[in-house]
Amino acid sequence: MVDKQDVRKDHVDFGDDMDILVRSTGRISVLDQNFGALVGAGIPFFGVGGGILRWVLYQILTDFHAQRGYHIVMTPAVASTQLFAISGHLEFYRENMYIFKIEDHEFAIKPMNCPFHVLLLMNLLQKYREKVPLPFRMFELGQVHRYEISGALYGLLRVREFTQDDAHIFSPSENTEDEILKTVEEMREIYEKVFQIPINAENIKLRLSMSDPDKIGTDYIGTKEQWEEAEEYLRSVAEKIHRKHGIEYFEGRGEAAFYGPKLDMVLNLEDIGEWQLGTVQFDFNLPYRFKLAELVSKIRGEDIPMYMVHRAYLGSIERFIGVYLDYRKGRLPIVLNPVQVLLVGVLSGSEVDKKIRSTITKLRDTLVAAGIRAVSLFVDKVRVGKYVRKIESTVRPSVQVFVGARELESGETGIKYYNLYERQYLQKRERFADVAELAQAVLDVVEELEEPVRELTGKEYRIYEDLSYML
Ligand code: ZN
């Protein structure tokens, strides 16, 4: 059931409620300033809860990619504009870039990670020669900056600074198709296991984003013939994806990246409509502009045409979180939720309160020792309903457990847990003989909710922080 209040709220409100985001219009009374004015327009400012969310998500994504043969890299935020002259960004992307001078030398904040990844591969090739395996996959949670007009900025949806789950696959032409086909499966795994968004032929389409033939040479690098060839190639890959997964595709003219055509995943969800998720881009330009293909051919002693696949599954992580909060009305998967478990001691003003207090405290200690972000609260039974409803619609814990005189007497309590597919709290009745048994029952529920992510990487993601001040 969706809270009536939540219908009017959007991701900025949800983000503020859960301390994922600092509201830019929020006032710092003593400085007589807005947070947004100090941080700057279009720069997302995550709260403490947002720090947890991002840190855990980054660990999951890093493990996921390392386990699938990607090399994890981290590249600088700033580079000499000479780098972006070679990549073509200066010529084709300049109006989106932040460029500045230091001691007569021109620098740019990176708008994309790709040029650095090409350099990294060139360094490896020169050092390790033919031992460097191809295709070579490189993954980076890369923070980029792109100019957007201030009127377009909003919350996490339109920003000037964002982090991409960015990867580049450097591939001889004969392997490129397989590499692109693999990305579809990887993307599906992440959406389903981390975010519990079902992906199927009914709710997803591929947009084959093509160039505008009249703008080749001005907005797009390369010749008409090269573009035609590249677009035909990607169309045949889209056709294969269609045959294998049943996913439909349609063509979008003038939607390509400046260096090549791309496949964009467009998800259609109830409530929020069409949502563009990941992108897989086919690039026949950068490997040649950087003479990477020449270097590979020299080392291998034969002419090897090289392509580059740029892919991001969540795209802008900031935007993804924003749309996700809108879509889920502020509900997050337990691994990413700042407050995971709420423990409520329901006091009745009698002798039994002492036992209630000790039960909740022990319960909390056990969960905290297991790395679970559990918070506890003691409240009079007359006020408990109102109090908890407020927490439920702001802090939004994934699991709730109540212990009062009745629960202690009967040795039974309900464990409420939020189910993302059903969009509501469900309840499990549990019998317990002592606190240890109750703690185990709560741990079992938490583990069950964590299960999809464990299936994805085989790991558990638990970082405890004391967030009791949020209650
Ligand atoms: Zn790229």
How far does residue 361's CA lie from ligand 1's centre (Å)?
A: 50
pLDDT of 200:
87
Range of the domain at 311: 4-328
Distance 87 CA to ligand 1 centre (A): 11
Based on the fold, state whether residues 324 and 463 are members of the same structural domain.
no
pLDDT for residue 243 is more than 80 = yes
Among residues of the chain, what percentage have pLDDT more than 90? 90
Which of 303, 328, 353 terminates a domain? The answer is 328
Model pTM? 0.95
For residues 306 and 354, state if they share a domain: no
Residues 163, 87 within the same domain: yes
Answer yes or no: is pLDDT of 4 > 70. Answer: no
Q: Kindly state the helix (H) or strand (E) to which residue 79 belongs, with its residue range.
A: strand 78-80
Tell me, yes or no, whether 321 and 338 share the same domain.
no
**Region 84-109: what's the mean pLDDT?**
96
Q: 259 with 300, same domain?
A: yes
User: Ligand 1 centroid to 281 CA: how many Å?
Assistant: 8
Query: How far is the centre of ligand 1, averaged over its atoms, from the C-alpha of 113 (Å)?
Result: 6
Listed residue (210, 285, 220) closest to 255, CA to CA: 210
Q: Compute the distance from residue 309 Cα to the ligand 1 centre, in Å.
A: 8
Give residue 307's identity as a one-letter amino acid code: Y
- Per-residue pLDDT at 3: 57
Q: pLDDT category, 201, cuts 50, 70, 90?
A: confident
The reply to whether 96 and 134 lie within a common domain is yes
Q: How far is the centre of ligand 1, averaged over its atoms, from the C-alpha of 311 (Å)? A: 7
CA of 167 to the centre of ligand 1 (A): 7
* Distance from Cα 289 to the centre of ligand 1, integer Å: 14
pLDDT at site 2: 53
Side-by-side strand order, sheet with 341-347: 374-380, 341-347, 399-403, 412-419, 424-431
Q: Which tokens in the block code for residue 26?
A: 């929020």
383-431 pLDDT, tens digit per residue, is 999 999 999 999 999 999 999 999 999 999 999 999 999 999 999 999 9
Give the closest residue to 421 by CA, choosing from 192, 242, 232.
192
Q: H helices then E strands: how many in the chain?
A: 16, 18
CA 276, 279, 281, 286 torsion-angle sign: positive
Spatial contact of 216 and 230, defined as CB atoms under 8 Å apart: no
1 has a pLDDT exceeding 60: no
Please count the structural domains in the chain.
2
Could you tell me the CATH number of the domain that includes residue 291? 3.30.930.10
Which CATH number do you get for residue 398? 3.40.50.800
- Ligand 1 centroid to Cα of residue 249, in Å, is 22
Q: Mark whether 318 and 344 lie in a shared domain.
A: no
Per-residue pLDDT, averaged over 232-248, amounts to: 92
| Contact indicator for 456, 313 with CB cutoff of 8 Å | no
The arithmetic mean of pLDDT across residues 233-237, rounded, is 92
CA atoms within 13 A on the CB side of 427: 8
Least Cα distance to 452 among 335, 332, 323, 312 occurs for 335
Distance 212 CA to ligand 1 centre (A): 20
pLDDT above 90 for 446? yes
Domain boundary among 304, 328, 352: 328
Average pLDDT, the chain: 94
Q: Looking at the structure, tell me whether residues 323 and 353 fall in a common domain.
A: no
**End position of a domain, from candidates 293, 328, 363:** 328
Residues 173 and 296 in one domain: yes
160 and 12 in a common domain = yes
How would you classify the pairing of strands 204-209 and 248-252?
A: parallel
SS3 46: strand
Residues of 295-331 as b/e, b for ≥16 C-beta within 10 angstroms?
bbeebeeeebebbbbbbbbbbbbbbbbbbbbbbbbbb
Give 114 Cα–ligand 1 centroid separation in angstroms. 4
Which long-range CB contacts under 8 A does 404-409 form with residues at least 24 apart?
404/345, 404/346, 404/347, 404/348, 404/356, 405/346, 405/348, 405/350, 405/352, 405/356, 407/346, 408/352, 408/355, 408/356, 408/359
Residue 7 has pLDDT above 80, yes or no: no
Distance CA 355, CA 378 (A): 12
Share of the chain above pLDDT 70, in %: 99
Q: Is the pLDDT of residue 5 over 70?
A: no
314 and 355 belong to one structural domain: no
Q: Name which of 266-275, 378-387, 434-443 the model is least confident about.
A: 266-275
CA of 164 to the centre of ligand 1 (A): 10
Let me know whether 20 and 83 are in one domain.
yes
pLDDT at 26 over 70: yes
Cα of 343 to ligand 1 centre, how many Å? 45
- Residue 353 Cα, ligand 1 centroid: separation in angstroms? 60
User: 232: CA distance to ligand 1 center in Å?
Assistant: 21
Tell me how far the alpha carbon of residue 116 lies from the centroid of ligand 1, in angstroms.
Answer: 9
Residue 245: pLDDT band with limits 50, 70, 90: confident
Per-residue pLDDT at 6 = 65
Express each pLDDT in 314-346 by its tens digit.
999 999 999 999 999 999 999 999 999 999 999
> In the block, which residue shows the tokens 């059931």?
1
Report CA(17)–ligand 1 centroid distance (Å).
34
Name every residue whose Cβ is closer than 8 Å to that of residue 35 and which is 6 or more positions away in sequence: 22, 23, 24, 25, 26, 27, 28, 45
